[in-house]
Structure 1
C-alpha cells in the first residue's frame, strides 16, 4: 500500500548523535569516561563510532575537524521507504548516503534555523547485555533482596541508549510546525511565558498505543541558536552517582546535577565535554502513549527540578559557568 505524501515520516526511536571535534583524542577520552566505547573506526581513525549497552549499533559519532561543530541528532525511521520519502519531501534534504561501517543509509537536512538533523535506516542491532537487568531493591515493607549484597565498583557510568536531544531555536512555532509536519512527533509538555507565548516544547514520538519516552526531542526559544544538550539513559541512580564521581575525579566540568526533573521525572546529571557541548546521564524517566493529552505549564526554573542544586548560571543558554569548572 502506498503511503500518502501527507502522512508523517515514521520515526521509530532515536539512534545516535553526530558531532565534529577539533580535538578528537580528547573527545574520545571524555566519551569513554562518560560510559561509551568505540565499536567502529573509519577514515584512518578520523571518524569514531561509540556504542552503549543497548540495541543500537552506536549512539554517538565523533568526527575530527578543524573546529568543533554540532552535526545533529539522528532518528531511526521505520522503513527504507520512509527514508526515501524524507529525501524527496524535506526541502534541502540529501539523497540516501552510506550511514556507517555497520551499514545502513542516512539522510541529512536542516531545520528552519539551519540546524542539522539526520534520519537513518538499515543499521544492525546489538545484543543487549545482561548487565542492564535490574537489581532487586529493598523498600521499608517489601524486601525482595534477601541474603544478596549490592557491591559496586568505581568506574564510568555505562550508557544504555540515546534518550533525547534538545535545541535552542529562534521561533517556537516555526520549529514546532516543521517537526510535527514531517514526523510523527507530538508535544507532551509545552511551556509558556506569563503572556501565554509558547517558549519550549517537550516532544515524544507518537507510536499510538506503544509506551514511549516522555520526550525524545525538545526545543526552547533563545537568543542563541544551536544545540542545548543530548541525553543518554543509564541503568539506575547508583551507577549514575558513581559515574558522577568518576567524571568529577577526572576534572571534567559539571553543568547541573545530580537532581530530579519534574517534566519527565528523570534523575539528571549534566556535564560539559572538553569543547563545551553539554551531555547528560539520566535514569528513571516517565513513559507516555496516545492516551495522554498535551500539558501546558508556565516556564521557569521552578518547573525544571523538584530536588537538586539550583539551576546554574548559563544552563538554559548551554554556556558553561566558569565558576563551576573543576567542581561538582
Structure 2
C-alpha cells in the first residue's frame, strides 16, 4: 500500500467525559434495578485497606517489598506488615507458611455496617487484630468460589508520611512552558507505594461471583466486557468500583475475569506517584534481578499506566499511576472483550497475564 500524506495521521490523546468514553453504556441505577439489587441493603464499604497473603520465606519477601517501594510497619518471627506513605497503617500483610492468598481487605466506617457484614453468607467468626498496627477487628467472608473476602472495622488510621516521591513536577509543552530555568533531576530507587488500589480474581464462577459481590456490597461495575456465544452476549470480565454516591472513587477497586482453566487470584495493585516514579521503579526492580510480567504501558479501561511483576512466591503485583475516578453518575461501559482492550501502548501482553 502506498503511503500518502492523507493516509498517515499523528496519534492523539484527550481526556473525555465518562458519558462518552464507551460507545455503549448503561446507567448504574438501571443495571442495579435490572438485577433486583436494593442499594440500601448492601454492606457499605468505605475503601480498600490492604492485602493479605501467606509466604514461605518472609526474609525473601521483605527484600522484594522494600525494593517494590514499601516500608516495614511491624515485624515478628511469623508476620510482617508493610506500609505505604498514605493514611493506611499498612497496605500488605504477610504471615509465614505455604504460599496462599488470604484476601483483600475493605474498611468499614460504622459498627452498624460491620454487623451487616457479619450476616453475609460465608461469614466466619470475628478476628481481633489487637497485635496489628492500628488494631481493629475483621471478618472473613468466604465467597461462592472459596475466595476469602475481608472487612475491617475500628482500625485507627495513620497520617500521610512525607516522601521525596511526592514532588509534583512541572511539564513543558510546545505552546505551554511551565518550567522556566528549572531542570528536572531524579534519584534512582524504588517507586514509593502510596496505597493499595485494587485486586481481583480469575474465576470459573464469574456470574455467581458478580451476583454475590454486587448484591451484598456497594460494589458496582464500571465496565463490563462480553463475548458473543450463539448469538448471545456473555459477560466475561468486569472492573468494579465502590458505590460512594456523589463522592469520587477509583475506576476499579475489584475485578473479575472468567477463567476456563481454574479459579485463582490474578493480581493486586499499588498506586505510585507519577510516570517518572513508576519508570524509575521499573528500572530499580530490573536491576535487582526481579522478574517482570508486563509493562510499562497504559491501560485503556481505567487509563492507568501499569507495571506488573512477579513476587518471589510467584504472585503477580502491580505498580500503577494516573487512574480514572468515577461516581454514581458514571455510566457502565459495555464493551467486547479482547486483547486490544487491554492497553493503548506498551509491550505485547504475555500469555501469563491472560491466565
Give TM-score scaled by structure 2 length. Answer: 0.84
Match of 2:152 in 1: 120
Q: Once the 2 structures are TM-superposed, how far is the Cα of residue 98 of structure 1 from its aligned partner?
A: 2.1
Please say if residues 54 and 102 of structure 2, whose CA atoms lie closer than 8 Å, have aligned partners that are also in contact: yes
Structure 2: how far apart are the matches of 1:168 and 1:17?
A: 17
Match of 1:206 in 2: 243
Match of 1:325 in 2: none
Gaps of 5+ in 2: 1-37
Match of 1:285 in 2: 323
Q: Once the 2 structures are TM-superposed, how far is the Cα of residue 8 of structure 1 from its aligned partner?
A: 1.0
Structure 2: how far apart are the matches of 1:312 and 1:231?
A: 18
Please say if residues 87 and 96 of structure 1, whose CA atoms lie closer than 8 Å, have aligned partners that are also in contact: no
Query: Structure 1 46/148 Cα, relative in aligned 2: closer, same or farther at 3 Å?
Result: same
Query: Is 2:125 the counterpart of 1:94?
Result: yes
Query: Structure 1 315/112 Cα, relative in aligned 2: closer, same or farther at 3 Å?
Result: same
Counterpart among 122, 137, 142 of residue 105 in structure 1:
137
Moved over 3 A (4+): none
Q: Once the 2 structures are TM-superposed, how far is the Cα of residue 93 of structure 1 from its aligned partner?
A: 2.8
Query: Is 2:212 the counterpart of 1:190?
Result: no
Structure 2: how far apart are the matches of 1:92 and 1:54?
A: 29
Query: Is 2:295 the counterpart of 1:257?
Result: yes
**3-state SS of 1:159 partner:** coil
Structure 2: how far apart are the matches of 1:79 and 1:133?
A: 35
The within-5 A match list for 1:215-254 is 215-222=252-259, 223-254=261-292
Query: Structure 1 130/138 Cα, relative in aligned 2: closer, same or farther at 3 Å?
Result: farther
Structure 2: how far apart are the matches of 1:255 and 1:152?
A: 25
Please say if residues 134 and 157 of structure 2, whose CA atoms lie closer than 8 Å, have aligned partners that are also in contact: no
**3-state SS of 1:129 partner:** coil
Give TM-score scaled by structure 1 length. Answer: 0.91
Please say if residues 219 and 243 of structure 2, whose CA atoms lie closer than 8 Å, have aligned partners that are also in contact: yes
Please say if residues 90 and 182 of structure 1, whose CA atoms lie closer than 8 Å, have aligned partners that are also in contact: no
Deviations 1:270-312 (Å, cap 9, x if unpaired)?
0000111000000000111111111111111110000000011
**3-state SS of 1:264 partner:** coil
Structure 1: how far apart are the matches of 2:167 and 2:144?
A: 41
Structure 1: how far apart are the matches of 2:323 and 2:182?
A: 27
**3-state SS of 2:277 partner:** helix
**3-state SS of 1:88 partner:** coil
Q: Give the root-mean-square deviation of aligned CA atoms.
A: 1.6
Counterpart among 49, 53, 57 of residue 15 in structure 1:
49
Structure 1: how far apart are the matches of 2:99 and 2:115?
A: 30
**Structure with the greater alpha carbon radius of gyration:** 2
Match of 2:101 in 1: 70
Match of 2:7 in 1: none
Structure 2: how far apart are the matches of 1:238 and 1:5?
A: 40
Q: Once the 2 structures are TM-superposed, how far is the Cα of residue 94 of structure 1 from its aligned partner?
A: 2.3
Query: Is 2:83 the counterpart of 1:51?
Result: yes
Gaps of 5+ in 1: 318-328
Counterpart among 73, 80, 83 of residue 39 in structure 1:
73
Query: Is 2:59 the counterpart of 1:25?
Result: yes
Q: Once the 2 structures are TM-superposed, how far is the Cα of residue 133 of structure 1 from its aligned partner?
A: 4.7
Counterpart among 163, 187, 191 of residue 153 in structure 1:
187
Q: How many residues align?
A: 311
Q: Once the 2 structures are TM-superposed, how far is the Cα of residue 6 of structure 1 from its aligned partner?
A: 6.0
